[in-house]
Structure 1
Amino acid sequence: MIKVSILYPHRQNGRFDSEYYTTRHMPLAARLFGAALRGWSVDIGINAGPPDTPPPYVAAGHFLFDTADAFYAAFQPHAQTLLDDIPNYTDGGNGTILISEIKVSV
């Protein structure tokens, strides 16, 4: 199984609408990805460890797929729709993508 993570860096005075992201954008992506999607989640950054420090990432969206090829097949037909939605929740661009293999899950 693989995890596709989209990491949105914290930016001083940057805009990120976590309500929109969690209730509109991510469910939209989940619907578009269909049966290939095995699960999804959202992390909202709190801090970098010490109290009152900004988090390195304001948010991270995660999608689970069986393989990277399954992700690409599900994403590519809907890429433009999802990219066009980005300005609705952030002024910071489309984030950094990390595709990782899940080795351990509890």
Structure 2
Amino acid sequence: MKYSIIISFLLLTVCLTAFGQEKQSRKSKNPNSAAAEKGLIKVSVMYPFAEGKTFNMEYYETKHMPMVAGFLGSNLVKYTIEKGLASGIPNQPLPYMAVGTFYVKSLDEYQAAIAPNRDAIRADFANYTNVAPVILVSEVVR
């Protein structure tokens, strides 16, 4: 038990160190990337992992996200799609199966674009998942 805790701590330390080095190397390659995103609105749509829940990544990537992106028009700067692989803590369950993120210029324009399309967006959930997403709207500060 004592050794497994020590090994877990060492693995976490190695992962955090590696992440810090990757983050630093990306920063040095493109020092303006953070400045270019500062002030944008970030809409994160997170799909929690749970036993028996499903997620069709191909449909999400090729149909759902492009549909929503189309609703956002010129307000959309970019969007990303992430597939969950593991928890940040070894031997812990995966927190999210997937995360879709939209970066937009204006929260008001985002809400105005989504409101009339909300029912179509929600109806499409059944085509790729049986999970209710958690949505976080935030502002990029760095």
Aligned partners of 1:38 and 1:66 also within 8 Å: yes
Higher RCO structure (Cα 8 Å, ≥6 apart): 1
Q: How does 1:52-91 map to 2 (within 5 A)?
A: 53-91=92-130
More strand by share: 1
Determine the C-alpha separation between the residues in 1 that align with 2:107 and 2:72: 13
Paired residues in the alignment total: 103
Determine the C-alpha separation between the residues in 1 that align with 2:100 and 2:73: 17
Q: How does 1:13-24 map to 2 (within 5 A)?
A: 13-24=52-63
| Structure 1 spans left out of the alignment, 5+ residues | none
Q: How does 1:86-97 map to 2 (within 5 A)?
A: 86-93=125-132, 95-97=133-135
TM-score (norm 2): 0.68
1:38 aligned counterpart, secondary structure: strand
Determine the C-alpha separation between the residues in 1 that align with 2:91 and 2:58: 22
Q: Which has the larger radius of gyration?
A: 2
Letter in 1 for 2:87: A
Which residue is 1:98 aligned to?
136
Determine the C-alpha separation between the residues in 1 that align with 2:97 and 2:83: 6
| Structure 2 spans left out of the alignment, 5+ residues | 1-39
The 1:52–1:21 alpha-carbon spacing in structure 2 relative to 1, beyond 3 Å, is farther
Among all aligned residue pairs of Structure 1 and Structure 2, give the percentage whose two residues are the same amino acid: 37
Determine the C-alpha separation between the residues in 2 that align with 1:54 and 1:21: 22
Letter in 1 for 2:56: D
Pairwise CA RMSD = 1.4
TM-score (norm 1): 0.89
The 1:24–1:52 alpha-carbon spacing in structure 2 relative to 1, beyond 3 Å, is farther
**Shift >2 Å, 4+ stretches:** 49-54
2:65 aligned counterpart, secondary structure: helix
1:74 aligned counterpart, secondary structure: helix
More helix by share: 2
